[in-house]
Amino acid sequence: IQLTQSPSPLSASVGDRVTITCRASQDIKTYLAWYQQKPGQAPKLLIYAASTLQSGVPSRFSGSGSGTDFTLTISSLQPEDFATYSCQQVDSYPFTFGPGTKVDI
Partner 1 sequence: QVQLVQSGAEVKRPGASVKVSCKASAYIFGNYYMHWVRQAPGQGLEWLGVINPTGGSTTYAQKFLGRVTMTRDTSTTTVYLELSRLRYDDTAIYYCVHSGWDDWGQGTLVTVSS
Q: Which of residues 11-40 bind partner 1 (CB under 8 A)?
A: 33, 35
Query: The dihedral of CA 73, 76, 80, 83: what is its sign?
Result: positive
Q: Least distance in Å: CB of 86 to partner 1?
A: 6
Distance CA 65, CA 20 (A): 12
Q: Which of 21, 51, 54, 75 binds partner 1 (CB under 8 A)?
A: 54
Phi and psi torsions of 81, nearest 5°:
-90, -5
Side-chain half-sphere CA neighbours of 73 within 13 A:
12
**Residue 45, interface with partner 1 (CB under 8 A)?**
yes
Distance CA 98, CA 86 (A): 6
- Cβ nearer to partner 1, comparing 21 with 54: 54
- Cβ nearer to partner 1, comparing 35 with 70: 35
- Quick one: which segment of 18-26, 62-70, 72-80, 95-103 binds partner 1 (CB under 8 A)? 95-103
Q: Which of 15, 42, 79, 80 binds partner 1 (CB under 8 A)?
A: 42
